[in-house]
Structure 1
Amino acid sequence: MKCVKKTKMTEFTKTIHLPSTSFSMKANLVHNEEKWIKFWEENTVSTTFKKENTNNFILHDGPPYANGHLHLGHALNKILKDIICRAYIKLGFNVDYIPGWDCHGLPIEWKVEEKYRKSGKNKDEIDQIKFRDECRKFAASWVEIQCDEFKRLGISCDWEKKYTTMTNESESIIVSEFLKFLEDGRLYLGHKPVMWSVVEKTALAEAEVEYQEKKSTSIYVKFPIRKSNKDAVKDASIIIWTTTPWTLPGNRAIAFSEKLDYKLILFTEDFIELNIKKNEKIIFEKKLLKVFFEKYGVENYKVLDEFKGDYLEKTFCEHPLKKNGFNFLVPLLSGEHVTDETGSGFVHIAPGHGLEDFEIGKKFGLEIPKTVENNGTYSANVPFFSGKHIFKVEKEIVDKLNDEKMLLCSSDFNHSYPHSWRSKAPLIYRATSQWFISMKEKDLRESALKAIDKVNWIPKTSKNRILSMVSERPDWCVSRQRSWGVPITIFVNNKTGEPLIDKEVNKRIVSKVYDKGTDIWFSGSKELFLGSNYNLEEFEKVTDILDVWFDSGSSHAFVLKNRGIKEKSDLYLEGSDQHRGWFQSSLLESCAIYGDSPFKTVLTHGFVLDEKGKKMSKSMGNVISPEDVIKKYGADILRLWVSTSNYNEDLKISYQSLDRQTEIYRKIRNSLRFLLGNLKDWNNKEIIEHEELPLLEKYIRHEIYKIHSTVIESFKKYNFHKAFQLISSFCNNELSSFFFDIRKDVLYCDPLNSKSRFSSRTVMVDIFKNLINWLSPVLAFTSEEAWQCWKKEIQNEEEKSCHEVHYKKLPENWKNNELEKQWGFIKVIRKAVSYFIEKKREQKIIKSSLEAKPYIYLGNKNLKQSIIGVDLKEILITSDVQIVDEKGPGFETYEEDNDIAIKIELFDGVKCNRCWKIFKFNGQSSESFICKRCKDAINTNL
């Protein structure tokens, strides 16, 4: 390159068309997002537009508890729903999405009780109506707080139409739905074991139970045989194993398996460690005996006999706590649930403290004793332990067994155990009188299983999960012994114990609840509901409340059907734990009353965990809240994190992962800024017809067409991370590092009215509009900011918000697979040239690609054909290029494609002071050192 005196480049800066836009490089989302929330509210921009002759899309919102600030699980759930709603608006659907809140139940009641406890008051001292009103106010306050927090996440819907389970209308429909179960014989009052919280003094649903590791005391206990028709076993002891010693006072039988093999053992020496004396006999399952003896080193024994379990029929044992008042015989009974996996091959049966125990008791007519009170203390009828708390007396029970030589051994045992999800206290099975919905009556289980088969479950594996749960679930216990909730509006006959089934009475109940709310059940007289047709003294109101899962499970009735929507919801979307919660209660309620499921598709997401995959908790100090994220990054970064994650699995989050999302966001924002800056003064008169566009612009349109189709299909299938991967890749690989890189020269330096510049800008308009349309369901705030900038600075549009712009079918002639193949080869050539230019730059032979002249050998027909009709130096961003037929000295073969060889030389010329390209200098002193293209551009622009 010749050394010549150059004119200062600053003389030509004002002639270059540099980008200009108010869309800043720095997003400042934390501050600016609030502005767009206000804009949406003032302009009634919502995800619930209604147009005639348009298909509906119904997303029924599973109601979160109105209790406490939002956590990231809430954010994940609502952002996913919002992305879907915004996408379906763009697909041309009428979206029906009404946000809801679950306002009854233990979590809220527990918080109100806490307030009373802090002031030294007992909840039982408070008037019930006053207490319920406190709960109502507490729930209402959190509905408003959570509502504002959801808005800050960019969740868009008609918030004024939000539903709660505690309005008169909602409660009246819940009552109406519940009474239908009574009227058609599906509801019954039963006495059986249920999951019971001794802390909260109520039965709990399976969905209110969480399993945690618990250290229990496991014991092997002797039950001496006192009666049998088999002489050989009369002086032996049955050995049972249990991890709940507190249930032994409720023991009424021992179960064996008819399929297992048992051994009758005689000890030939004392074994003090196991409270065994010489010549003592025990009976133990064969396989488990070997494990037990190896563990304790038992060697001195004889096997007297071996038999199947049914050999022990008609055998009775002495209760091991006989000397403490348990003076009754315990029968040995066959039980199908007995296995040889752990223990001794025998299971002690306490019919009031286990479902399988209860079923055996019912089968064989055993007494179901009342052993434990609602607060966890032994009942007055329990010998010796009466009034003592079950969890505090276990050591005493073990000591008593040891004193009486009935204990073989005890040890700590760690296992997964049910706990209350609210109080975190361990639960027990306790036999109580509760109201149940029968799974067998009128084939509810069968109906639900058939309905499951017709639903689209995402992911597919979730179908097997709910099938298993419904197949095995017991009857639905719907009564709770609490105060805050929808009451079980049933009258029971004092003499018969039977519920009153009278449709006129039920209509009256529903009507009164609609007018006055459910408090009327507790404050109103019996006559108010029963009228004059019944003797009021013969009936009592049930004072229990309904399981809150029935409330939310019937929400499809009061949120959708009550508004005249007869079709099923298109989508239910919640966390995977709702297979045993809301999905199941909704399914059972709808199948029983309406004969089918209330949903077409059920989509589940995982849980949000910390960076190590652990559950977040305040005690561990690993909690990241939505508020934390918004204050540091802005809601769009959280929305971006959701969209780029595989939400079907559990999601890990950390500030490091959010930093990575910020980098992805920055690249996308820069793409939008480049487009807006270079489309200033755009006029539709610039539009160039597709057939007249350069090949590069046609290729970019093909990419837009291809991505548009895939993004739309991905949104339809709720595959957001695939959609966003495509969008992000398009911004990085097709735009920033390719199309924008190549076309900067045309945009900045070509004449304003040149066809080349018009062509680039024509396609850039296509890029911008489609990119905003793809991004807006996810980056709701940033897309709006860019769209309003477009409207204000470049071209006004009919739609007041980007969220009102529908997806449009793109012209078919944009699609060109052959062009995609061609540019695939061109990109390989470009990459190869860039590689060798970079080597020269590292060697300090050249400073930029514009100083290089590549000589390119292409040994492949496809590569040669690909460059036909293409200005290769424009694509390579070099000042010159030469294609050669043979490789000469200095050529290097490209490692990634042996059909390409390249030699890079310094192009001999001078640098244009305007565009910086190298051109051949003619030596005339009048030259201002600008190339002919730039000289023409300056003259044309002037």
Structure 2
Amino acid sequence: FLKLKINDSSLSQDAHKVIKKFKHKFKNIYLLVWTTTPWTIPANVAVGINTKFIYGIWENKGNDEAVIILEKDENLDNVKRISGNKEISMSEYIFSGIEGEFKKTEEVLGTELVGLHYNAPFDSLPLVKNAEKEKPNTFHTVVNGSEIVVSNEGTGLLHIAPGAGKEDFDLGKREDLPIISVITDNATYMDGMGEFSGKNAKKHPEIIIDYLRNYCQGEYLLKTMYFKHRYPSCWRCKTELVWKVTHEWYIAMDRKEKLKVKEGKTLRQQMVKTAKMIRWMPEFGLDRELDWLKNMNDWLISKKNRYWGLALPIYECNKCGNFEVIGSFEELKNRAVLGWEKFKGNSPHKPFIDEVMIECSKCKEKIGRIDDVGNVWLDAGSVPFSTYIDPKTKKLSYTSDKEYWREWFPADFITESFPGQFKNWFYSMIAMSTVLEKRNPYNTVLGYASMLGEDGRPMHKSWGNAIEFNEGADKIGVDVMRWIFVTQDPEQNIHFGFRKADETRRKFHLILWNVYNFFVTYANLAKWDSKNTSRSNNNYSNILDKWIISLLNQLIGIVEKSLNDFDSFTAAASIESFVIDLSQWYIRRSRDRVSIRADNQTDKDQCLEVIYEILVTLSKLLAPFIPYLPEEIFTSLTGEKSVHLAKWPITDDNKIDTSLMKQMVFARKLVESGHSLRKEYKIKTRQPLSSAWHSETSNKLENEKVLDLVLQELNVHKWIVKKDSNKFIKKPSVVSKNIDGFEIFLDINIDKDLLEEGQVRDIIRQIQIKRKELGCDLAEKIDLVIPKLNNKYFNLIQRETIAGQIIQGEELKVIRK
């Protein structure tokens, strides 16, 4: 808490009559300011107050002095503070621990303080004296800082140092305050700071406090206290940062373009127009870009104290103040008066470029390039113009005839993470293109969200949630990693990690591989050869084949349309959904069609043909997303060199049956309801049920073959005919379930025959388990010993388990021949 002595010379104004009235009563009146950065106190040039507040003049009866502090906020409420979880008065918060008895003698409006001048403890320093000479009228004055002076912390009077803080700098520009820059780039006090010069402000913050304690017997320091507050630090190494003012180069956003016949628009206005020419994905991207363009300041394009980077081609004359921008190698060569031979043949970077000097066009002085390098986004923004070298002329197309450049401009598509790029790359290209061409540099931009750790926080080594790329690629697999990214909604942050990878692999890659493995296994058992088949007709006799081929052709169209629309998320999500349908419905319901016991060879061949076509086509669709898994499947099935050399699949609209696809969706909803009922009543799917009925809604399920699939999946013998449905659903043994409007009724009464049939199904399952345990291959015949059972089921057991002789015995046995 710093005391700044009010200067008598400033009390001549009528606005300060209250202060003047009390001045004669006290030896000195002080403004009590506060700061959390004492190293900036020597840079103080003003005190900020809030004109909506009321301030109190508090007398210290012990030394005949008074201090001014905040008394009431903008609502005229007495200001309180929290100390040790206890609410206390402002005066107790400020004056506790200070010698003397303090008493409030008067209240003044904030407006009555504006314009007061004061003396400060560092006025004798050369840099401070220079600031006073520069702007004597505003040096060490009280100014209206209502937008930054708050009532919930501090004293209501804020130390203002435009050379050491962004808010202070903005206030200083408005109030025409002088600027004192007190530190160098490494936070060392500059020359002109007296005894502090050469000392580090951040490493030794105590030097300012110690000085105040000793200067004039501590007249200017009321007290110090610990105060918890936010403070900027380096995101990488956590080192505390300091804010300092320095000279930089900017591109003006709000100067109107000078046209021959009239005054033009500002660059900001023109860039808004350009941004609206672009298609933004997601759509809120345009709003973000426009918000940035609306609120940003002039564009800072320089970087000090850098060596590597774009050497800004700005040549400034220290003699007359003129500066010039060089536009090309040719121009620099023609203007060079010194150093060209040393530079020739080198890239335009430090140190080579700085060998060249040109002649100032105004005063003819030899001048060199400024020391600054360019902001990296300034360089990145030039990409639409700086990268197209005409293959015929070997020259930069944009600065020559532009013919080759016009073939590529504007770019069709760019993409980057949107949290930072609205004010970086997206913005810089818009700026460049607006200035040079008055149009958009790209047609479509996709901005995607951030990749975070699995815990939802940004990845940092110090937090233990970072995954190094090579480690991730080795442990996760690049195909899995790619699929994680393409199936993520780009608008939402992705929580990346090994658990996410395991889930992705399980949900997609393993399912697809199991389908492929299923096909290879049964195609080999059947000695099926793709070369001996024809897949060019639409005559699929099996309803499942018609459905999955319809779905496949629909998928081809969706993927192609989505990719042409730069929407990989929809494309990948559609492929994943198709693979799940393929595995969980088509393969599940087709297992018996291709098994060793299947007796319909035509149907078996057709099923294998369909799966083959699906896997080959899927490989082509997947190739742009994940290169390795589809390559393995495609080359193994076709014998061709690579899926990445294959032609893109074409949709066959004649094979798309929208009605059938809709019917199958309804069927699977009924199946979901039926399985839910079985689970609710603890009835295994292996246990057959006699009959079922489904309610008729606006979504009618009419296809009899599709209805048969529902019965097969739910292991129910028959559907009740419609005329008997009302009577059926009233039976005590009938239960129902409705999911999403699809209601099914099952008769769960299990008579003797049904129970026996269920037991047979259990025995078949046990035999299959024992076959697997014994290592029997799929085509291997076995003999069986089974418990006493009605021999009418022997043929069923033999067919399902590939069994030869069946003998009845005490317990189940599987005998390998």
Smaller-chain TM-score bracket = 0.7 to 0.9
The answer to whether the 8 Å contact 1:254/1:346 transfers is yes
Please tell me the residue identity of whatever aligns with 2:372: D
Partner of 1:263: 55
2:486 aligned with 1:643: yes
Pairwise CA RMSD? 4.5
Check if 1:555 corresponds to 2:383: yes
**Greater Rg over alpha carbons, structure:** 2
Cα deviations by residue, 1:822-859 (Å, 9 ceiling, x for unpaired): 3344435555666788899978xxxx84xx65421326
Relative to structure 1, is the Cα distance of residues 246 and 873 closer, same or farther in structure 2, using a 3 angstrom cutoff?
A: closer
How far apart in 2 are the matches of 1:356 and 1:924?
A: 89
Q: Report the equivalent of 1:787.
A: 634
Q: 2:513 aligns with which of 669, 675, 689?
A: 669
> Cα distance 1:877–1:282, how it changes in 2: closer, same or farther (>3 A)?
closer
2:140 to 327, 330, 355: 330
Which letter maps to 1:394? P
Which of 471, 479, 482 is the matching residue for 2:306?
482
Aligned partner of 1:614 in structure 2 is 457
- Say which SS state the counterpart of residue 232 (structure 1) adopts: helix
Q: CA deviation at 1:876?
A: 0.9
**Cα deviation 1:196-250 (Å, max 9, x = unaligned):** xxxxxxxxxxxxxxxxxxxxxxx45545343222243254322333232222211
Offset, 1:500 = 3.7
Report the more deviating stretch, 781-790 or 853-862.
Answer: 853-862
CA contact (8 A) 1:750 1:757 kept: no
Q: Could you tell me which residue of structure 1 aligns to residue 416 of structure 2?
A: 574
> Which SS does the other structure have where 2:462 is aligned?
coil
Once residues 554 and 682 of structure 2 are traced to their aligned partners in structure 1, the CA distance between those partners, rounded to angstroms, is: 36
Question: Per the alignment, do residues 550 and 692 of structure 1 end up closer, same or farther by CA in structure 2, a change over 3 Å counting?
Answer: closer
1:117-171 C-alpha deviation (Å, 9 max, x unpaired): xxxxxxxxxxxxxxxxxxxxxxxxxxxxxxxxxxxxxxxxxxxxxxxxxxxxxxx
Aligned partner of 1:493 among 317, 337, 357? 317
Gaps of 5+ in 2: 24-28, 82-87, 96-101, 133-138, 258-265, 389-396, 399-403, 768-778, 783-788, 805-817
1:318 aligns with 2:115: no
Q: Which amino acid aligns with 2:424?
A: G
Secondary structure of the equivalent of 1:866? coil
Q: Relative to 1, partners in 2 of residues 1:338 and 1:685: Cα closer, same or farther, differing over 3 Å? A: closer
Query: 3-state DSSP class of the match of 1:631?
Result: helix
Given that 2:253 and 2:268 are in contact with CA atoms closer than 8 Å, whether structure 1 keeps it comes out as: yes
Which residue is equivalent to 2:109? 307
Residue matched to 1:351: 162
Q: In structure 2, how many angstroms separate the alpha carbons of the residues matched to 1:417 and 1:907? A: 76
Structure 2 Cα separation of the partners of residues 414 and 439 of structure 1:
38
- 1:538 aligns with 366
Contact 2:381 2:425 in 1 (8 A): yes
CA distance in 2, matches of 1:871, 1:315: 91
CA distance in 2, matches of 1:642, 1:506: 46
Give the Å deviation of 1:749: 4.6
CA distance change for structure 1 residues 634 and 898 in 2, over 3 Å: closer, same or farther? closer
1:741: how far off? Answer: 1.9
What residue in structure 2 maps to residue 730 of structure 1?
Answer: 578
Amino acid at match of 1:872: D
Does the C-alpha gap of structure 1 residues 758 and 767 become closer, same or farther in structure 2, counting only changes over 3 Å?
A: same
Give distance in 1, aligned partners of 2:792 and 2:645. Answer: 58
Distance 1:495 1:553 in 2: 32
TM-score, length-normalised on structure 2? 0.73
CA contact (8 A) 1:491 1:541 kept: yes
- Are the equivalent residues in 2 in contact too, given 1:833–1:876 (CA < 8 A)? no
Structure 1 partner of 2:38? 245
Distance 2:180 2:355 in 1: 35
Which residue of 3, 7, 11 maps to 1:228? 11
Residue deviations 1:873-929 (CA, integer Å, cap 9, x gap): 79616999344455498944244435343555144999999999xxx9999999996
For 1:37-186, list aligned pairs within 5 A. none
Q: 2:192 maps to what in 1? A: 381
> What is the match of residue 246 of structure 2?
432
Paired amino acid for 1:437: I
Contact 2:58–2:106 (CA under 8 A) maintained in structure 1: yes
1:175-202 Cα deviation digits (max 9, x unpaired): xxxxxxxxxxxxxxxxxxxxxxxxxxxx
Q: Which moved more, 1:871-880 or 1:767-776?
A: 871-880
Distance 1:509 1:393, change over 3 A: farther
| Closer, same or farther: CA 777–303 of 1 in aligned 2, 3 Å | farther
Q: Is the 8 A contact 2:692 2:716 kept in 1?
A: no
Q: What CA distance in whole angstroms lies between the structure 1 residues aligned with 2:469 and 2:384?
A: 29
SS of the residue 2:202 aligns to: coil
Give 1:625 deviation, angstroms.
1.5
**Residues 832 and 551 of structure 1, relative CA distance in 2, 3 Å threshold:** closer
Tell me: CA distance 1:865–1:660, structure 2 relative to 1, closer, same or farther (3 Å): closer
Q: What's the offset of the Cα at 1:399?
A: 3.4
Q: Write the distance in 2 (CA, Å) between the matches of 1:304 and 1:772.
A: 85
Over 3 Å counting, the alpha-carbon distance change for 1:860 and 1:646 in structure 2 is: closer
Q: What residue number does 1:444 align with?
A: 267
Shift of 1:484: 1.6
Match for residue 148 of structure 1?
Answer: none
Alpha-carbon distance between aligned partners in 2 of 1:772 and 1:243, rounded to the nearest angstrom: 63
Number of residue-to-residue matches in the alignment: 691
Residue 290 of structure 1 is aligned with which of 76, 79, 82? Answer: 79
Which deviates more, 892-901 or 429-438?
A: 892-901
User: Which one of the candidate residues 266, 289, 292 is aligned to 1:469?
Assistant: 292
What is the SS of the residue equivalent to 1:387? coil
2:346 alignment partner, one of 502, 516, 519: 516
Q: Which moved more, 1:440-449 or 1:292-301?
A: 292-301
Specify whether residues 773 and 290 from structure 1 end up closer, same or farther in structure 2 by C-alpha distance, changes over 3 A only: same
The one-letter code matched in structure 2 to 1:304 is E
The alpha carbon displacement at 1:356 in A equals 4.8
Q: Distance in 2 between matches of 1:873 and 1:625?
A: 49
SS in 2 for 1:450: helix
Of 280, 286, 295, the match for 1:457: 280
Q: What secondary structure sits across from 2:747 in the alignment?
A: strand
Give the 3 Å change call, closer, same or farther, for CA 683–657 of structure 1 in structure 2: same
Give the Cα separation in 1 of the matches to 2:674 and 2:328. Answer: 87
Distance 1:685 1:782, change over 3 A: closer
Alpha-carbon separation, structure 2, partners of 1:928 and 1:501? 90
Partner of 2:658: 816
* Structure 1 contact 910–929 (Cα < 8 Å) conserved: no
Q: Which amino acid aligns with 1:450?
A: K
CA shift at 1:772, angstroms?
2.3
SS at match of 2:416: strand
Distance change in 2, residues 1:415/1:785 (3 Å): farther
Query: Using a 3 Å threshold, how does the CA distance of structure 1 residues 383 and 228 change in structure 2: closer, same or farther?
Result: farther
Contact 2:322 2:362 in 1 (8 A): no
Residues 675 and 768 of structure 1 are in contact (CA less than 8 Å); yes or no, is this contact kept in structure 2? no
Q: 2: distance between equivalents of 1:278 and 1:242? A: 25
Q: Which amino acid aligns with 1:302?
A: K
- Structure 1 runs not aligned, ≥5 long: 1-218, 271-276, 936-942
Q: Deviations over 1:418-458 (max 9, x none)?
A: 44556654433333333222222332222223323333333
2 CA distance for matches of 1:358 and 1:838?
70
CA contact (8 A) 1:836 1:902 kept: no
Q: Which AA in structure 2 matches 1:287? A: D
Distance 2:747 2:210 in 1: 89
Q: What amino acid maps onto 1:445 in structure 2? A: R
What whole-Å deviation, never above 9, does each CA across 1:727-760 have from its counterpart, x for those lacking one?
Answer: 333323x222321122122223577984423442
Structure with the larger RCO, 1 or 2 (CA within 8 Å, 6+ apart): 1
